[in-house]
Amino acid sequence: MPAMQELPLALQQSSRAARETWLLAHEAAIRRFGDGRRAYEYARAVLQRGFDRVGDHWEERPHGGGPDAAAPGP
Tens of pLDDT, residues 33-51: 999 999 999 999 999 999 9
Please give the residue that has the higher pLDDT: either 64 or 22. 22
- Helix, strand, coil shares, percent, the chain, to 5: 55, 10, 35
Per-residue pLDDT at 55 exceeds 60: yes
Question: Given phi > 0 = left and psi -120 to 50 = alpha, else beta, which region is 17?
Answer: alpha
Q: What is the pLDDT of residue 8?
A: 87
pTM: 0.76
Burial class of residue 35 in the structure, from the number of CB atoms within 10 Å of its CB (0-12 exposed, 13-18 middle, 19+ buried) = exposed
When pLDDT is cut at 50, 70 and 90, the band that residue 23 belongs to is very high
Per-residue pLDDT at 70 exceeds 50: no
